[in-house]
Chain A
Amino acid sequence: MSENKIIDPEIVRLYEISYLVSPALAEDKAPAALLPLKDLLAGKNVVVSAEESPKFRRLAYPIRVAAHGEKKQVFDSASFGWIRFESDADTIFEANKLLASSADIIRFLIVKAEKAVPVKPFQSYRTRPEREVPISVSEKGTIGEEDKKPHVSQEELDRKIDELVGA
């Protein structure tokens, strides 16, 4: 079973690329490894929405990378950074090829990022505006008929109670 999904290259999505820069480049020089990608994005008029510059860290396990025609190198530390931008599928395809051919980037991951949903701030029930009391509708369909009932004063009510108790 093979499905040929037709992907519209014009669809713009939010992508995130995280990458590990080789420890051969110092932490302050690590952003230079991403310059070809940034040039590509600038050429396509892609605006970077968020970014974190590479920071040196120890890896959870050693990564073995074979450079072109060379012996496998083992890295147990690298600089980790990420970049987030909105682009179409073609740009991502080119970025993928660019990063794969880069010697300084030992590993990278392209994911479709979720747009940040604004968090609804917590509001205490004390500060919430009071809800409006719904207008009562009687069976006859007249609105607010209960309010039209004759007003009974306290004296009349006491007298009526006395009559009932006395009887």
Chain B
Amino acid sequence: MNPNSSHTHKSFDYKNTELLKKFLNPHGRILSCKRTGLTAKAQRSLALAVKRARFMALLPFVAR
């Protein structure tokens, strides 16, 4: 993910799985802020959205 995209994502929606998938690695784990280039606030929003999407079975907990 391009670090310059950090300013374009202020908050994440758990229903927007196509966007969230860009911030996951092939195993379904959330990429670190070092890799995503997001601000701390946006990274927290991302983590919350991914966890909500996992609960609703829109995203996997573990992908092989």
The residues of A with any CB-CB pair to B shorter than 8 Å are 18, 20, 59-61, 63, 78, 80, 82, 107, 109, 111, 114
Question: B30-50: contact bitstring with A at CB < 8 Å (1 yes, 0 no)?
Answer: 000000000000000000000
CB contact under 8 A between A18 and B61, given known A82-B15, A114-B11? no
**A60 and B59 contact, CB distance less than 8 A:** yes
Interface size in chain B (residues, C-beta < 8 A): 12
Residues of A within 8 A of B61 (CB): 61
Could you say which of B15, B54, B55, B57 has the most chain A C-beta atoms within 10 Å of its C-beta? Answer: B57
Residue of A nearest to B59 (CB): A60
Interface residues of B (CB under 8 A from A): 11, 14-15, 52, 54-61
Contact B57 A60 (CB under 8 A): yes
Dominant SS among interface residues on chain A: strand
CB pair B11–A60 under 8 Å, yes or no, is: no
Q: In the complex, A109→B52 CA distance in Å? A: 8
Give chain A residues whose Cβ lies under 8 Å from the Cβ of B52: 109, 111
Q: Contact between A80 and B11 (Cβ–Cβ < 8 Å)?
A: no
A109–B11 CB distance below 8 A: no
Q: Which of B11, B56, B60 contacts A18 (CB 8 A)?
A: B56
CA distance A18 to B14 in the complex (A): 10
Contact B60 A60 (CB under 8 A): yes
Q: Looking across the interface, which residue of chain A has its beta carbon closest to that of B60? A: A60
Could you say which residues of chain A place their CB within 8 Å of the CB of B59? Answer: 60
CA distance A80 to B55 in the complex (A): 13
12 new A-B pairs (CB below 8 Å) besides A61-B57, A80-B56?
A18-B14, A18-B15, A20-B56, A59-B58, A60-B58, A60-B59, A61-B61, A107-B56, A107-B57, A109-B56, A111-B14, A114-B11
